[in-house]
Amino acid sequence: MIHRGLRDDRGQAFPIYAVAVAGLLFAALAFFVVGQAGVTRSNAQGAADAAALAAAREVRDNAFLGLDLLGLTSTEWAKLIDGDLLVGNGACAKADEFAALNDATAQCAVALPVVTVTVTTNGTVGKSVVPGTEGTHGKAKAKARITPRCSLRSAPAPTAPTQTPNPTPSPSPSPSSMAEGVTFVCDGKPLALDPAKPGPLTKLARALFTVRLVD
């Protein structure tokens, strides 16, 4: 009789163990799904960051596109290095390109000096034990700002002549003319530019502006 009772107890405990194991397996699968969702979300954020930076850099690198450097006045140079003459052409195309490289699609908004990109991954969380999560796509937003690094150094004031025995009238140069040269101060260091020989304009743009992610 005693042995029969022990066998009965073990038989009754087995369903409890089975339910407990099934519950643990379901919890493990649920945590796995959460992990998959986290990875998908992380992939979306990485794609959004890359696309936003690429779009902003496209704007920065083309800062001098279509400009006549020899014809720019000092006022126009000041506006240029403040970012007021930046044009957003090509920014969203570049965002689309980088999103595609990360297997995602992008929505882009340009409000210079900020470019905002929202990315949706093409991939989903996939099959899971949690109903309704199979078709969930990763989605994330990123903003990149184009920030000026330089200021325009003012030309020194002309010194008065010590002697003017027989002054000869001569036309004075226009104070707005910058064709002879422009000097910037970038992070405390001077940067001289000859508008007639500016060198690679993309390199110059990268010296004048920096691009970074912002909240």
* Cis status of the peptide bond prior to 161, with omega within 30 of 0: no
Tell me the C-alpha to C-alpha distance, in Å, between residue 132 and each of 2, 143, 154: 51, 30, 64
- For the cut 50, the answer to whether the pLDDT of residue 29 exceeds it is no
Q: Which helix (H) or strand (E) holds 77?
A: helix 74-81
Find, among 192, 210, 191, the residue nearest to 149 by Cα.
Answer: 210
Which of the pair, 106 or 33, is modelled with greater confidence? 106
Residue 174 main-chain phi, psi, to 5 deg = -65, 130
Given a cut of 90, is residue 212 above it in pLDDT? yes
Task: Please report the pLDDT score of residue 214 as a whole number.
Answer: 97
C-alpha to C-alpha distances, 178 to 86, 154, 196, nearest whole angstrom: 20, 11, 11
Over range 119-135, report the average pLDDT: 69
- Output the pTM of the full model: 0.70
Q: Tell me: the pLDDT tens digits for 57-106?
A: 999 999 999 999 999 999 999 999 999 999 999 999 999 999 999 999 99
Average pLDDT of span 179-193: 88
Does residue 54 have a pLDDT over 80? yes
